[in-house]
Chains A and B, each alone.
Chain A
Amino acid sequence: NAGVMQNPRHLVRRRGQEARLRCSPMKGHSHVYWYRQLPEEGLKFMVYLQKENIIDESGMPKERFSAEFPKEGPSILRIQQVVRGDSAAYFCASSPPPLGSKGAKNIQYFGAGTRLSVL
């Protein structure tokens, strides 16, 4: 069972370009989460998605950032008109659906991350 796959592992963009980060969840997982790790800072939640549905986007910047998780294919985190401050490691995690209130767990399995550098 392959783990969470993220690509590319490294991405270099010039200011003003678009960045697209992809995440394929583990087999059987229908929930995807995106986190950002800025240099010298901790991991910060960005967005939580199910197939074709955004559940919680409270951590997403208001402008230039969007995320989707279509019925088919990987989840995409899209950053338009990148700026130097977007340089960071972006991690994706996935989990199976909640099992219900009794015995429910939300173990999130993380990918290796995409390291975005904006020149």
Chain B
Amino acid sequence: KQEVTQIPAALSVPEGENLVLNCSFTDSAIYNLQWFRQDPGKGLTSLLLIQSSQREQTSGRLNASLDKSSGRSTLYIAASQPGDSATYLCAVNAGGTSYGKLTFGQGTILTVHP
């Protein structure tokens, strides 16, 4: 059974810092991994998706890496801003007979203060 863990559970940083969010998964046989952000009382916004054959994906100030063999992914946020404050979720798609079923971590609550 796939389990996804995110560390840290919460993070508070001053504006302008570069930061790293971590995600680990127990079964390395994944199809892809997706990073989301969730704002309070809102839905999820997809940030980046990394296919199992890829090592990283970049979008603006965000960079996500994937090390499938060690069961890890990191989300790097450069030059953080108060608008980045949200919960960041990592989700794994195992593919195969579980294709379409995302397994989520508990999330990292990020607060960026001015």
A31–B46 alpha-carbon span in the complex (Å): 17
A55–B96 alpha-carbon span in the complex (Å): 12
Are A110 and B32 closer than 8 Å at their CB atoms? no
Are A56 and B51 closer than 8 Å at their CB atoms? no
Q: A110 contacts which chain B residues (CB < 8 A)? A: 36, 43-46
Are B101 and A58 closer than 8 Å at their CB atoms? yes
Which partner residue on chain B sits nearest A45 by CB separation?
Answer: B101
User: What sequence of 0s and 1s flags, for each residue 105-119 of chain A, a beta carbon within 8 Å of any chain B beta carbon?
Assistant: 111111111010000
Are A108 and B32 closer than 8 Å at their CB atoms? no
Are A45 and B43 closer than 8 Å at their CB atoms? no
Number of A-B contacts (CB under 8 A): 63
Are A107 and B49 closer than 8 Å at their CB atoms? yes
Are B46 and A106 closer than 8 Å at their CB atoms? no
Name the contact of A56 in the complex, choosing from B41, B44, B101 (C-beta under 8 A): B101
A117–B46 alpha-carbon span in the complex (Å): 26
Are A45 and B34 closer than 8 Å at their CB atoms? no
Q: A112 contacts which chain B residues (CB < 8 A)? A: 42-43
Chain B interface size, as a band, is 20 to 34
Q: Which of B76-114 contact A (CB under 8 A)?
A: 89, 91, 93, 97-107
Q: A69 contacts which chain B residues (CB < 8 A)? A: none
A43–B34 alpha-carbon span in the complex (Å): 14
A91–B41 alpha-carbon span in the complex (Å): 11
Q: Give 16 A-B pairs besides A42-B104, A56-B98 with Cβ atoms closer than 8 angstroms.
A: A42-B105, A43-B89, A45-B102, A48-B101, A56-B97, A56-B101, A59-B101, A105-B32, A106-B32, A107-B49, A108-B34, A108-B46, A110-B36, A111-B43, A112-B42, A115-B41
Instruction: Write the residues of chain A forming the contact surface with B, with a CB cutoff of 8 angstroms.
Output: 4, 6, 31, 33, 35, 41-45, 48, 55-56, 58-59, 91, 93, 95, 98, 105-113, 115
Instruction: Write the residues of chain B forming the contact surface with A, with a CB cutoff of 8 angstroms.
Output: 31-32, 34, 36, 41-46, 49, 51, 89, 91, 93, 97-107
Q: Which 5 A-B residue pairs are closest in the complex by CB-CB distance?
A: A110-B44, A112-B43, A48-B100, A43-B104, A110-B43
